[in-house]
């Protein structure tokens, strides 16, 4: 018998359930310690269901109190109930009502799935399989039902009672209790169910849709935090308007509520009409939130709102299709930010994230297709591959079809699949039908894991005025996929002539070239451009038009030429990154940079940050040099994080030695007395100024002093935190005092406490692990709150490579022990922290051996949750 942890679910086994639940009525009696859930399920057999087919409902940690069918109690022999399932052996072959009553214990629910209590508030999280922790149900996304829920609770403990849809009744329930009944007219899967009961404050606003519907908007939160919800409300209204204008999508209920809770496993959740948010993605005021925090709030509020169409009205047939809603909705939130802020800057930021998080996943033991074909634990598939690579796939469709073609296909998607639970195949079919383009080969993007490597080689023949460009693609094997097919790659490109203007050509042959796009769908092509007057410099994958690793042998001079002349801002930024990366990786491999190479890079960076034509946010990205993780990933094997750290630090000192004047001038020039606003213009100014400061702290003798002054005088958290961070990470004299000042001044606010925790985990110095251990051991540390755990230990494991991957193995062992401990209470948090080991095979032999030993001892400790056992097993085997 396979144990539970070995049980694998395969896409090929998908079958509709023999019964459908079409309507649900719930009565939830909320009482501290033990709550009771009564359910009336309106059930029909699906056509073709054979007589005697049992009805099997999912459950988890449920205790059945009573059960009746069409009003008559079931005899014991007619059903079997365990905490994990309810089977009715021979249900009638006609529509019937199954009535159950179960008890649950939300106060003991530390997994934060199903109904749980967060700082006194009862709230739910049902995606992907949490509804079964509330009542027995067909807890699968293809069962669409209409829901009505009556909640009854103590008026003092829970004056606010919310659920999906519209409030249809409320009143007194006697004994100091009251009730509210909510009804959601839109059929939905159980994972979108939500309810909240608590003593909450709120802010309210309204939005009138294009067709005149008045929507009441509410944001609910802990009392006293109402004034921190304004930016979230503003973001929501902008998102609603944008979805109407850009995609023709209107909101469809009279109410849209958001609730901020302090204990949440993820960012936020798109429950129909009642989004529930991790409070760090709602609360913001200038004194405690940074520009990046404001940006995340805007993005996630929009993301969850956009799910109303891509996720709620059109949902997934099964969990293998997760990226149908997630990839598409991330694409939509990216476009929203691009339209609201700066398109090239957002693109650069998204690509940085993709490379930092998704590429390592795709190149390691946890690699999986954007649409996986098997899983053991679906919670482990809320990954950057499903989300961010999923969005890249949609972006490539938009690139291939053009803006108008893409919009036409999206219109058809909404029209054809509204109200359905559907698949990636159906999505692709819509794009084929709308455009007439065959996308069967393109579909491989959903099916094959791994990041394609593209090698580009070129040659110019001045005698024949011919330019040849050879492109080859290859994908390395990934777990379960030893051989790969070529992908369809849209390669946006330009050829740049010696004067910096586009190079003309009279004819091109050898491949599929459409204006400024090459479509590479074979292993290799060799394009021949004729009539090219001079040797051009190629600019490939403009705007990062496909998620690949490009290997192109350009000289530093060519790269700096692109940095100055490329009309594509993304590739201008990329060119400077490439110059730095080449110098850094060579140095790590023992070939130290030549001084003139640093001179010319510094000159180009100095020039770029001096240009009036570029915006500050773009220049700020230019000052963000390749990270240690970027360097480690590019090197790929025998990684020694300490050596990488030292090389990078020396590189920054060398650059800052040459750029100090320019950085200082930038810093001084961008000082401002304006009242704080999180808008793009101000945030861009601050990010450029603060990135200049960060470099000065790392590479010049004046930096520490400048940072200390900025820390003390800052009028907002962005500037204060930007001064504090490099000071603490560099361990400059006085840094400990600043960190202590920060603790005393701010950490009563839990979200700023998280920032302090993260800073404690950041220094690459010995002693960091001890510091973390001390904080964790403090009895007042909230050891069940996901945000606190992630801020302290998650950030350490994922972000402090020098200490996590210490050669003596103490970092690995510390994280493995932490995972084993947290796993007992919250498997999702534990499993996610454990993914920091995903690159363990890339370390040099000593570290690799230590990582393996730590992982094996975690495995041998036994009793791991399915979440953690799954990540661990794949990490060790893959
Ligand atoms: N659908 C949400 C993500 C989410 C997934 C799981 C959760 O709980 C375990 C919570 C949220 C989104 O894409 O935002
Ligand atoms: Zn989402």
- Ligand 1 atom with least separation from CA of 828: 9
Instruction: With a cut of 60, say whether residue 1 has pLDDT above it.
Output: no
3 state SS for 437-474: CCCCCCCHHHHCCCCCEEEEEEEEECCCCEEEEEEEEE
Closest CA to ligand 1's atom 3 = 269
Cα(183)–Cα(172) distance, integer angstroms: 18
Cα(241)–Cα(217) distance, integer angstroms: 14
Ligand 1 midpoint to CA 269 (Å): 5
pLDDT of residue 293: 98
Question: What is the arithmetic mean of pLDDT over 835-862?
Answer: 97
- Tokens describing residue 479: 């777990």
CA distance readout (Å), 531 to 39, 54, 412, 466 = 75, 73, 43, 6
Instruction: With a cut of 70, say whether residue 152 has pLDDT above it.
Output: yes
Instruction: With a cut of 50, say whether residue 679 has pLDDT above it.
Output: yes
pLDDT of residue 6: 67
Closest CA to ligand 1's atom 13 = 326
Ligand 2 midpoint to CA 281 (Å): 14
- Tokens describing residue 749: 């606010």
Ligand 1 midpoint to CA 12 (Å): 25
- Ligand 1 atom with least separation from CA of 326: 13
Length of the chain: 878
Closest CA to ligand 1's atom 1 = 269
Instruction: With a cut of 80, say whether residue 4 has pLDDT above it.
Output: no
pLDDT of residue 738: 98
Cα(618)–Cα(624) distance, integer angstroms: 10
Nearest C-alpha neighbor of 15 from the set 39, 49, 43, 40: 49
The backbone torsions φ and ψ at residue 107, rounded to the nearest 5 degrees and listed phi first, read -65, -25
The DSSP code for 46 is P
Question: What is the arithmetic mean of pLDDT over 770-784?
Answer: 97
pLDDT of residue 747: 86
- Ligand 1 atom with least separation from CA of 387: 13
Instruction: With a cut of 60, say whether residue 36 has pLDDT above it.
Output: yes
Cα(271)–Cα(632) distance, integer angstroms: 39
- Tokens describing residue 696: 């000065």
Instruction: With a cut of 70, say whether residue 813 has pLDDT above it.
Output: yes
Contact 656, 699 (CB under 8 A): yes
Contact 360, 633 (CB under 8 A): yes
pLDDT digits (tens, 9 = 90+) for 505-541: 999 999 999 999 999 999 999 999 999 999 999 999 9
Ligand 2 midpoint to CA 333 (Å): 10
Instruction: Report long-range pairs for 848-853 (Cβ below 8 Å, ≥24 apart).
Output: 850/807, 850/808, 850/809, 850/812, 850/813, 851/805, 851/809, 851/812, 852/876, 853/809, 853/812
Instruction: With a cut of 60, say whether residue 3 has pLDDT above it.
Output: no
- Tokens describing residue 259: 């609730």
Ligand 2 ion: Cβ-proximal residues, 5 Å cutoff: 326, 329
Instruction: With a cut of 60, say whether residue 2 has pLDDT above it.
Output: no
How crowded is the C-beta side of 676, counted as CA atoms within 13 Å? Answer: 18
Q: How far apart are the first and last CA of the chain?
A: 24
Question: pTM here?
Answer: 0.98
Ligand 2 midpoint to CA 579 (Å): 36
Ligand 1 midpoint to CA 265 (Å): 8
Note the ligand closest to the C-alpha atom of 191. Answer: 1
**Residues with C-beta less than 6 Å from any ligand 1 atom:** 125, 127, 265-270, 303-304, 326, 382, 828
User: Which sign, positive or negative, has the C-alpha torsion 818, 819, 822, 824?
Assistant: negative
Closest CA to ligand 1's atom 12 = 269
Cα(230)–Cα(114) distance, integer angstroms: 29
Nearest C-alpha neighbor of 362 from the set 737, 835, 770: 835
Closest CA to ligand 1's atom 6 = 127
Closest CA to ligand 1's atom 5 = 127
Q: Which single residue is written with the structure tokens 């700066």?
A: 342
Cα(289)–Cα(227) distance, integer angstroms: 13
Closest CA to ligand 1's atom 11 = 269
pLDDT digits (tens, 9 = 90+) for 173-217: 999 999 999 999 999 999 999 999 999 999 999 999 999 999 999
- Ligand 1 atom with least separation from CA of 300: 14
DSSP, residue by residue, 493-560: EEEE-TTSSBPP-SEEESSEEETTEEEE-SSEEEEEEE---S--EEEESTT--SS-EEEE---HHHHH
Cα(206)–Cα(204) distance, integer angstroms: 7
The catalytic residues are: 304
Note the ligand closest to the C-alpha atom of 300. Answer: 1
To test the pocket of ligand 1, the residue of 111, 124, 126, 127 to mutate (highest count of ligand atoms within 8 Å of its CB) is 127
To test the pocket of ligand 1, the residue of 266, 311, 323, 831 to mutate (highest count of ligand atoms within 8 Å of its CB) is 266
pLDDT of residue 137: 99
Nearest C-alpha neighbor of 30 from the set 115, 114, 113, 100: 115
Ligand 1 midpoint to CA 414 (Å): 22
- Tokens describing residue 613: 């034509």
Cα(707)–Cα(691) distance, integer angstroms: 11
Longest CA span, the chain: 96
Cα(76)–Cα(86) distance, integer angstroms: 12
3-state DSSP percent of the chain in helix, strand and coil, to 5: 45, 25, 30
Nearest C-alpha neighbor of 232 from the set 262, 188, 202: 202
Instruction: Tell me the pLDDT of the chain averaged across its residues.
Output: 98
Cα(127)–Cα(140) distance, integer angstroms: 10
- Tokens describing residue 509: 């042959």
Note the ligand closest to the C-alpha atom of 270. Answer: 1
The residues that bridge with 256 in the sheet, in sequence order, are: 217
Cα(839)–Cα(836) distance, integer angstroms: 7
Q: Is the peptide bond before 479 cis (omega within 30 degrees of 0)?
A: no
pLDDT digits (tens, 9 = 90+) for 265-291: 999 999 999 999 999 999 999 999 999
Cα(638)–Cα(261) distance, integer angstroms: 43
**Residue 314, helix vs strand vs coil:** strand
* DSSP run (H or E) holding 275: strand 274-278
Ligand 1 midpoint to CA 860 (Å): 31
Note the ligand closest to the C-alpha atom of 310. Answer: 2
Question: What is the arithmetic mean of pLDDT over 288-314?
Answer: 98
DSSP, residue by residue, 79-143: EEEETTEEEESS--SS-EEEEEEEEE-GGG--S--EEEEETTEEEEE-TTTTGGGTS-B--STT-
Closest CA to ligand 1's atom 10 = 266
Question: What is the arithmetic mean of pLDDT over 319-339?
Answer: 99
Cα(311)–Cα(304) distance, integer angstroms: 9
pLDDT of residue 553: 87
Burial of 589 (0-12, 13-18, 19+ CB in 10 A): exposed
**Residue 575, helix vs strand vs coil:** helix
pLDDT digits (tens, 9 = 90+) for 79-106: 999 999 999 999 999 999 999 999 999 9
pLDDT of residue 380: 98
């Amino acid at each position: 018998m396979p144990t539970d942890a070995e049980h694998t679910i395969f896409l090929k086994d998908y079958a509709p359930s023999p019964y459908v639940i079409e309507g649900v009525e719930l009565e939830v009696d909320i009482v501290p310690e033990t709550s009771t859930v009564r359910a009336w399920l309106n059930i029909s057999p699906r056509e073709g269901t054979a007589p005697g087919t049992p009805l099997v409902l999912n459950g988890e940690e449920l205790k059945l109190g009573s059960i009746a069918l069409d009003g008559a109690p079931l005899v014991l022999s007619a059903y079997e109930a365990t905490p994990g399932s309810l089977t009715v052996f021979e249900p009638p072959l006609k529509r019937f009502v199954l009535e159950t009553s179960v008890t649950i214990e939300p106060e003991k629910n530390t997994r934060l799935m199903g109904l749980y209590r967060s700082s006194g508030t009862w709230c739910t999280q049902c995606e992907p399989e949490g509804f079964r922790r509330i009542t027995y149900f067909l807890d699968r996304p293809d069962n669409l039902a209409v829901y009505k829920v009556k909640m009854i609770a103590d008026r003092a403990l829970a004056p606010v009672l919310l659920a999906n849809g519209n409030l249809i009744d409320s009143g007194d329930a006697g004994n100091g209790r009251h009730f509210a009944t909510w009804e959601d007219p839109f059929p939905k899967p159980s994972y979108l169910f939500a309810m909240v009961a608590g003593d909450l404050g709120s802010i309210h606003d309204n939005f009138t849709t294009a067709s005149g519907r008045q929507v009441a908007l509410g944001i609910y939160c802990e009392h006293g935090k109402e004034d921190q919800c304004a930016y979230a409300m503003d973001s929501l209204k902008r998102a609603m308007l944008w979805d109407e204008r850009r995609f023709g999508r209107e909101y469809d209920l009279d109410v849209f509520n958001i609730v901020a809770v302090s204990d949440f496993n993820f960012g936020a959740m798109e429950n129909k009409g009642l989004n529930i948010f991790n409070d760090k993605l709602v609360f913001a005021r200038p004194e405690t939130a940074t520009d990046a925090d404001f940006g995340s709030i805007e993005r996630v509020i929009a993301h969850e709102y956009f799910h109303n169409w891509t996720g709620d009205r059109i949902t997934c047939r099964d969990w293998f299709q997760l990226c149908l809603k997630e990839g598409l909705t991330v694409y939509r939130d990216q476009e929203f930010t691009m339209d609201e802020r700066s398109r090239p800057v957002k693109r650069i930021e998204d690509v940085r994230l993709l490379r930092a998080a998704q590429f390592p996943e795709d190149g390691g033991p946890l690699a999986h297709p954007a649409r996986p074909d098997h899983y053991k634990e679906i919670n482990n598939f809320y990954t950057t591959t499903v989300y961010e690579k999923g969005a890249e796939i949609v972006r490539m469709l938009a690139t291939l079809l053009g803006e108008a073609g893409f919009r036409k296909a999206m219109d058809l998607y909404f029209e054809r699949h509204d109200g359905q639970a559907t698949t990636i195949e159906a999505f692709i079919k819509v794009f084929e039908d709308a455009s007439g383009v065959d996308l069967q080969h393109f579909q491989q993007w959903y099916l094959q894991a791994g990041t394609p490597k593209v090698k580009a080689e070129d040659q110019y023949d001045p005698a024949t005025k011919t330019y040849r460009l050879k492109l080859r693609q290859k994908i390395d094997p990934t777990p379960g996929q030893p051989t790969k097919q070529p992908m369809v790659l849209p390669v946006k490109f330009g050829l740049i002539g010696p004067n910096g203007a586009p190079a003309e050509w009279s004819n091109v042959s050898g491949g599929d070239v459409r204006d400024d796009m090459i479509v590479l769908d074979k292993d290799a092509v060799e394009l021949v451009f004729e009539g090219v007057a001079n040797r051009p410099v190629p600019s490939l994958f403009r705007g990062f038009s496909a998620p690949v690793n490009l290997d192109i042998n350009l000289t530093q001079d060519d790269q700096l030429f692109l940095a100055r002349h490329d009309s594509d801002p993304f590739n201008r930024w990329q060119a400077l990154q490439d110059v730095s990366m080449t110098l850094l990786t060579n140095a790590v491999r023992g070939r130290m940079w030549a001084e003139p190479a640093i001179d010319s890079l510094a000159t180009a960076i100095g020039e770029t940050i001096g240009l009036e034509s570029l915006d500050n946010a773009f220049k700020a990205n230019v000052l963000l040099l390749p990270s240690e993780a970027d360097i480690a990933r590019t090197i790929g094997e025998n990684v020694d994080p300490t050596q990488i750290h030292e090389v990078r630090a020396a590189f920054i000192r060398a650059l800052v030695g040459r750029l100090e004047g320019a950085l200082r001038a930038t810093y001084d020039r961008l000082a401002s007395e304006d009242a704080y606003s999180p808008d793009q213009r101000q945030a861009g100014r601050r990010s450029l100024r603060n990135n200049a400061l960060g470099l000065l702290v790392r590479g010049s003798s004046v930096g520490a002093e400048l940072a200390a002054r900025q820390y003390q005088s800052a009028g907002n958290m962005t500037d204060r935190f930007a001064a504090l961070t490099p000071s603490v990470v560099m361990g400059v004299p006085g840094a400990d005092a600043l960190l202590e000042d920060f603790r005393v001044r701010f950490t009563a606010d839990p979200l700023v406490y998280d920032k302090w925790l993260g800073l404690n985990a950041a220094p690459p110095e010995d002693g960091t692990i001890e510091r973390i251990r001390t904080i964790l051991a403090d009895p007042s540390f909230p050891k069940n709150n996901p945000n606190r755990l992630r801020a302290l230990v998650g950030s350490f494991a994922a972000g402090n490579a020098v200490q996590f991957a210490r050669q003596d193995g103490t970092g690995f062992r510390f994280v493995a022990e932490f995972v084993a401990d947290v796993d007992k209470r919250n498997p999702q948090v534990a499993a996610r922290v454990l993914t920091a080991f995903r690159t363990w095979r890339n370390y040099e032999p000593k570290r690799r051996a230590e990582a393996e030993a730590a992982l094996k001892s975690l495995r041998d400790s036994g009793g791991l949750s399915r979440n953690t056992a799954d990540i661990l097993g794949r990490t060790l085997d893959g």
